[in-house]
Amino acid sequence: MADTTGTPGTGSTTSSDQHPRKSSWKYIGPGIVVAATGVGAGDLVATLIAGSNFGYTLLWAAVLGCLVKISLAEAAGRWHLATGRTLFDGWASLGKWTTYFFVIYVVIWGFVYGAAAMSSSGLPLQALFPDVFPAEWSIKPWAILCGVVGLVFVWLNKYSVFEKVMTVLVGVMFVVTVYLAIRVTPHLGDAFAGLLPVLPDEKDSILNTLGLIGGVGGTITLAAYGYWVNAKGWTNTSWMKVMRLDNRVAYITTGVFVVAMLFVGAELLHSSHTAIAEGDKGLVDLSKILEAQYGTATAKLFLIGFFATSFTSLIGVWHGVSLMFADFVERYRLSRVVTGEEVARGDREKGWPFRAFLLWMTFPPIVLLFQGQPFRLVIIYGVLGAAFMPFLALTLVWLLNSSRTPASWRNGWLSNSMLTVSGLLFVVLCVRQIWDTAWSDFF
């Protein structure tokens, strides 16, 4: 890591900036983390259902979705490296409204997501070890255990250990999803035809296609990518080429997961007209289908991959969003510009704001596991979640075209086009979420 950086936001450079690191595979890390965190069990189910309903028709949409996420994560990482400032510090410079939105979002989102992440991680464990806890307890003990283990792991370890564990779990996910894609014997001719941008002949096909493009791997973890870049020790523009390679690896990896699961949906479900449940339970349904088709060993291997997918999302969010929350607290506690160098030192991961948010995402959500999710809270959670991605895309356009970013690192036409298109895409999806919400029941 370089010893010095340019003055944040001024565009000044130092000797370290004048000697860019060569983009090398040995540096790869934050990209693996963001890929593992961004692709959760719900994303795999959405892709499976797309394959089940439409075969290979929407393969192009899944690939396009990965390209959209590459542009968003690259922009977040470029802001951190080009300015030396954190993304929240950039948001704060746009006005107090960004702070209000962020705080309301992470507090409500973290509460509801905590319960969802623990449940998702507990489901495959319950399926793998059905006799450990009484059946009437359902998955609750496993869910709580996953949440507490995730809390302890993130609490006790800094980024370097966290990254290594995430890499191992990604390896498990990769092996399982690729094995399943090969096992179902995909029709490659049909798959290549699916790369042509064709819409299914179904009602609401445009909105469903946009949902697939925007949904897979698209969460607050895209904003956390810049923080993981800093935590890795990359703090100035000498790391720009490395970051871009790392980001491409992230979404190529995501693309492999998505395409593999779409293959499984197209071949195993679409061809046999088999339906699975929406949400995480759809993956348990799939494990039963795999057991019937290919035997117990394949089903259990899939459940192990299911657990790796869910648990990486859990610990990834526990770490990344807590890091962002800690940045927010430090920014307003000290009332000054917050730099990436401070994130790189690792002090944030041991501070009370980081650990307080960890506790917030772990213990209060346990109540939801027993009482169910309050209807009004779930509605607010859904609307805020839908609003975050357009917020991220459009604020990145604003920040990276302004004097806040050194001139040499501002957006070019390609980045502006991708960010603008993704922002509009997410606005459409946000409007659809608001439109489809049962507001009459809310009031």
What are 67-80's pLDDT values in tens digits? Answer: 888 899 999 999 99
- Quote the mean pLDDT of the chain: 87
Helix 221-231, helix 30-38: angle, nearest 10: 160
Percent pLDDT > 90 in the chain is 51
Residue 430 token pair = 């946000």
280-330 pLDDT, tens digit each: 778 888 899 999 999 999 999 999 999 999 999 999 999 999 999 999 998
Pair 45, 280: CB distance under 8 Å: yes
Question: What is the end-to-end Cα distance of the chain in Å, rounded?
Answer: 54
Label residue 26 exposed, middle or buried (CB < 10 Å: 0-12, 13-18, 19+): exposed
Tell me the CA distances in angstroms from 203 to 206, 208, 209, 268, 417, one per residue in order.
8, 9, 11, 24, 29
pLDDT (0 to 100) of residue 3: 34
